[in-house]
Amino acid sequence: MFIDSKEKSIADNYIKNGYIIEKISNLDSLYWMKNELIKIIREVAEIELDDDEILDNFHKKISLEDLNNIRVKIIQKINQIKDFRYEYYRIAKPLLDLIVGNEVSMQLRTNLSIQIPNDNSSLLPIHADTWSGDSPFETVVWIPFVNCYNTKSMFILNPLETEKLMKNFNDNFNKSSDEIYNSIKHKLKWIDIKFGEVLIFNQSLPHGNVVNNESETRWSMNVRFKGIFTPYGDKKIGEFFEPINLKAASIIGMQYNKNK
């Protein structure tokens, strides 16, 4: 294959481990997104903490009963900002070019996770997106806005262990998500990632989170990307995905009709 050593190293790590974590080179876009997020939090939740405290200490200023309503309003406002998805893509583009390609479809809406300490209402039980009909060609770009570690982060099962799990598909999938989690929890990788880094992971691998037992709130966003011309699962173009950078030759090819 005609790829350089850096691209090969990133690709090999993604295939072997199911994810990569890299420093974000476009910090302007990252801080623009963070500032927009903080402005929305102040508007929706009316919190007066300093910018460097408001995310980690969010749970100290809101009640658990208000959390879901606040989360929904924040997500709505994020997705009303015209350039938010563009800046998100700019952060991920160098890595997406290596892993997915330079003609991609992007999820129409940005997802936000807020996980306050000791909250069992914001859990994402162990799952793989392909189990519910998503395309195996999708990849997830996961951006933390705080340092994430231990239970303040997420877990993922590596490809080798996933293959073992899937060999016993019928036996395992008669179990509850808790039973599956408990049977493989010693094999899971907990993601340690800092603000200023980006995680890209294979969503066909089992992943999820547990109750945040740390002393700080987790804030992270995730958006799915895939090659425009790769097969789509249940999430279709126009309904869930949008092509964002179709190239000239592809446009010409799609419009070509030899019978004209």
Residue 237, token pair as written in the block: 């173009």
In whole angstroms, what is the distance from residue 121 CA to residue 59 CA?
14
pLDDT of res. 121: 86
| C-alpha angle 83-220-180 in degrees, rounded to nearest 5 | 135
This prediction has a pTM of 0.94
pLDDT tier, 260 (very low <50, low <70, confident <90, very high otherwise): low
Relative to beta strand 111-115, strand 218-227 is antiparallel
pLDDT of res. 4: 85
Three-state DSSP state, 214: coil
Q: Kindly tell me the burial class for residue 210, based on how many C-beta atoms sit within 10 Å of its own C-beta (0-12, 13-18, 19 or more).
A: buried
Q: Which of 70-74, 228-232, 235-239 has the lowest mean pLDDT?
A: 235-239
Neighbours of 131 (CB within 10 A): 12
Any domain includes 199 = yes
Average pLDDT of span 135-162: 97
Any domain includes 109 = yes
In whole angstroms, what is the distance from residue 67 CA to residue 96 CA?
33
Q: Domain total for the chain?
A: 1
pLDDT in tens, 27-47: 999 999 999 999 999 999 988
Any domain includes 101 = yes
Q: Kindly tell me the burial class for residue 219, based on how many C-beta atoms sit within 10 Å of its own C-beta (0-12, 13-18, 19 or more).
A: buried
Query: What domain range is 173 assigned to?
Result: 7-245
Q: Are 119 and 65 in contact (CB under 8 A)?
A: no
Any domain includes 59 = yes
Arithmetic mean of pLDDT over the chain? 94
Any domain includes 69 = yes
pLDDT of res. 117: 97
Full DSSP string of 112-155 = EEEE-TT-SSS---SB-GGGGT--TT-EEEEEESS-B-GGGS-E
Any domain includes 257 = no
Any domain includes 54 = yes
Give percent of the chain with pLDDT exceeding 70: 99
Relative to beta strand 241-243, strand 155-156 is unpaired
Q: Identify the CATH number of the domain in which residue 230 sits.
A: 2.60.120.620
Any domain includes 124 = yes
pLDDT of res. 235: 92
pLDDT in tens, 152-203: 999 999 999 999 998 877 776 778 888 899 999 999 999 999 999 999 999 9
Residue 51, token pair as written in the block: 């910018």
pLDDT of res. 48: 86
